[in-house]
Amino acid sequence: MFKQLFRKILTRPVTYLAHRYSSAPKQENVFAALTKLYNQSLQPIEKQKDILLLHDIGQTPVIIFSDQHKGARDGSDDFAAAEANYMAALEHYNANNFYFINLGDSEELWENTVNTVIKNYPATFKAEQLFLERNAYCKIIGNHDLFWKNDPLLAPGILKDLFGQPVPIYEAAVLRIPLADKNLDILCTHGHQGDAQSDGNAFSKWFVSYIWGPLQSFLQINTNSVSANEELKSLHNQIMYQWASKQPNALLITGHTHQPVFESLTHLERLLLQLEMAKDQNNTAEIASIETEIATRRQQYKFVNESYKNLNPSYFNTGCCCFQGGTITGIEIANGYIRLVKWSYQNNTPTRTIAEETPLTQLLPSI
C-alpha cells in the first residue's frame, strides 16, 4: 500500500522534472565524446584507457550485438523471448571463430539488480564466456549497464566470478582493417555519448546508476529511453551520421536506438529508394509489394531523412536483441563484407538471414 502511495505522489513531479531538464544529445557534446574516443586509437597503447584497438583483426570475422537488456524473466523482460535466437547465434559464431563485440546495454541494470540478471541467465553468460576463453570477446558499456565501469570495487569481482577470469570493460573498440593501400577504421561504441545524464561527469554517471535508474524502476516510468522515443531516435541517428560522415576512411557502428541502420539508411529509407527503382523499371508487382511494406513500416517509424538519397554510407546501427517476437539483429564483418543480419524464428527454429550486405572495399571511395 505504501509503495503504491509513494508511486502516486512521486510519479507526476518526477516525470515533469525529467522532461523539464532532460538532456537530449547535443551535437557538440556527441562530436567531442566520439572524437575523444576515436583519437585514443591514434595514441600510444598506454594512453588507450577507454578503447580497445584491434589492429590485427583483418582476417578475423567479427559479430557485433547490442541491447540485449537481459532482465528478470518478468513481464518487462523483452530479452526472454529472444534468448533462443541469441544462444543459437552465439553458438554459430563461436563455432566459426568470430570475434564478439558486445556493444552495450547487455544487462538491464536500471530495472534489475546484477544478481537478479545473473541468476536468470546463466546459460547466456556461459555462451559469452566461450568467446572470452578464446580471447575473442570485447565488452563495451551502454547507459543501462554503466555499473560495470562505475563500480570499481564490486564490478570487477562480479565479472571475474561470472566469466572465470577478469573482463576488461571499454567504452569503444576500433577495428583497423587493412584494405588495398589504406586502412579502414571502424569505431564501435554504444551510442549514448553526448547525453549528460549517462555520459557526463563522474557524479552524473553515479547518479544515473544508483539513483535515477532505480527511481524510474520503482515508479515504473521510462522518461529518457531513446529506443522508445521517435524524436530522440531520429535526433540520435542524425547526429551520429553527421559525425561519421566527417571522418575520412572510417565507419561508425552504434546501438542504443534499437533501430537497425545500414549504410546510413533506416529500413524505411531503403524501401523508399527501392520503390523509386521499381517505378523506374515499371515493375508493378514489385511496386505493390514495396508500398505494402512501406505502409507497415510507417506505422512503426515515420521519420525519413530529407537527404536520404545522398547520404554518405558511413553510419551503421546494430539494432537490438530484444525485438518483439524474439528477433535479434546484429552487424557481421567477415570475408571482406559488412552485413546486417537477422536471427528470427522460422518454424520455431532460430534462423540467420542476411538483411543487407556490401563489400568493405566499395565503401572506401564513398567515405
Contact 338, 358 (CB under 8 A): yes
Q: pLDDT of 18-77, one tens digit each? A: 444 455 678 999 999 999 999 999 898 888 889 999 987 778 999 999 999 999 998 889
Mean pLDDT lowest among 126-135, 139-148, 173-182, 218-227:
218-227
pTM for the model? 0.86
C-alpha distance from residue 26 to each of 138, 144, 212, 304 (Å)? 28, 19, 20, 20
H helix or E strand, kind and range, residue 114: helix 114-120
Contact 322, 67 (CB under 8 A): yes
pLDDT for the residue numbered 270: 81
Residue 366 forms part of a structural domain: no
DSSP state of 53: E
Residue 273 forms part of a structural domain: no
Contact 262, 340 (CB under 8 A): yes
Distance CA 291, CA 195 (A): 36
CATH number at residue 112: 3.60.21
Distance CA 197, CA 103 (A): 19
Rounded mean pLDDT of 253-271? 90
Q: Which residues, in sequence order, are CB contacts of 236 under 8 Å at separation 6+?
A: 25, 191, 226, 256, 257
Domain that holds residue 212: 2-264+311-341
pLDDT for the residue numbered 323: 94
Q: pLDDT of 211-220, one tens digit each? A: 665 666 666 5
Residue 363 forms part of a structural domain: no
With 70 as the cut, is the pLDDT of residue 361 above it? yes
Distance CA 358, CA 332 (A): 11
Q: How far apart are the first and last CA of the chain?
A: 59
CB atoms within 10 A of CB 12: 11
Residue 300 forms part of a structural domain: no
For 162-198, the DSSP string reads: HHSS---EESEEEEEEEETTEEEEEEEE-S-TT-HHH
Which of 8, 10, 235, 209 lies closest to 112, judged by CA?
209
Residue 355 forms part of a structural domain: no
Residue 123 forms part of a structural domain: yes
Residue 247 forms part of a structural domain: yes
Helices H / strands E in the chain, number of each: 14, 14
With 90 as the cut, is the pLDDT of residue 234 above it? no
Contact 152, 202 (CB under 8 A): no
Residue 71 forms part of a structural domain: yes
Pairing between β-strand 137-140 and β-strand 169-170 as defined by DSSP bridges:
parallel
pLDDT for the residue numbered 275: 82
Q: How many domains, in total, are found in the chain? A: 1
